[in-house]
A and B are shown apart, each in its own frame.
Chain A
Amino acid sequence: EVQLVESGGGLVKPGGSLRLSCAASGFTFSSYSMNWVRQAPGKGLEWVSSISISSTYIYYADSVKGRFTISRDNAKNSLYLQMNSLRAEDTAVYYCARDSGDLEWLCDSWGQGMLVTVSS
């Protein structure tokens, strides 16, 4: 069974930093691209970032480019999102989501999400 478990969320002040992690199990992590998708309270889904299986290709939404960094460690079956210069509008539940292959651009499995709150 595919399992994706996010961690590292919480309350952070504007301008601060946070690192989200996603632990993957139940599948060959190194064979799938991975994504971060977020959802602000009461709002819709917003794509944040994607990374290919070997980290060769990395993509970011305009709203986070230059502030967020996606990375992965295939040896540890883990996905990360380093978030710097956080703003109030980054407050959201952040989902780790598996691609159906290598950059197939659809999310076939999702974690339960991790809340990040940016507030003073």
Chain B
Amino acid sequence: SYVLTQPPSVSVAPGKTARITCGGNNIGNKSVHWYQQKPGQAPVLVIYYDSDRPSGIPERFSGSNSGNTATLTISRVEAGDEADYYCQVWDSSSDHVVFGGGTKLTVL
């Protein structure tokens, strides 16, 4: 089955740029979606189809996808961005939705 690999944690100072990676075999050939989940809350879609932003999501959030790595980039990080972030794809080989293990973003 298809596996998505995320770093368990990423730390960044306020105002800096955070990059959260999502690794998968030829993930560049798939559409990647990213979700933000704050403690005790439901996930929220922050990036879809690799790099599109839903309405209401700040422009500070961006995404890219190429080769074996997709990346969620958060510019000018704020304290309110502290959350768990999950990448997700559809694996047509298995007809399964696949989530990465999640990355906890800590704002120092």
Least CB separation from B33: chain A residue: A106
- Residues 77-108 of chain B: 1 if any A CB is under 8 Å from the residue's CB, otherwise 0? 00000001010111000011111111000000
Contact A50 B97 (CB under 8 A): yes
Say if the beta carbon of A107 comes within 8 Å of chain B: yes
Question: Which B positions have Cβ atoms within 8 angstroms of A?
Answer: 1, 31, 33, 35, 37, 42-45, 48-49, 54, 84, 86, 88-90, 95-102
Among A95, A106, A112, chain B packs the most CB atoms within 10 A around the CB of A106
Contact A108 B48 (CB under 8 A): yes
- With known contacts A106-B48, A106-B88, A110-B43, A45–B54 Cβ distance under 8 A: no
Chain A residues near B90 (CB-CB < 8 A): 105
Q: CA of A107 to CA of B1 in the docked complex: distance in angstroms?
A: 21
Contact of B48 among A46, A47, A100 (CB under 8 A): A100
Contact of A61 among B33, B35, B86, B96 (CB under 8 A): B96
Say if the beta carbon of A35 comes within 8 Å of chain B: yes
In the complex, chain A residues 74-112 whose Cβ is within 8 Å of any chain B Cβ: 95, 97, 100, 105-108, 110-112
* B-side interface mostly: strand
Question: Which A positions have Cβ atoms within 8 angstroms of B?
Answer: 35, 37, 44-47, 50, 59, 61-62, 95, 97, 100, 105-108, 110-113
Contact A113 B42 (CB under 8 A): yes
Chain B residues near A50 (CB-CB < 8 A): 97
Chain A residues near B99 (CB-CB < 8 A): 37, 44-47
CB distance from A99 to the nearest CB of B (A): 10
Least CB separation from A57: chain B residue: B95
Contact B42 A95 (CB under 8 A): yes
Contact B48 A59 (CB under 8 A): no
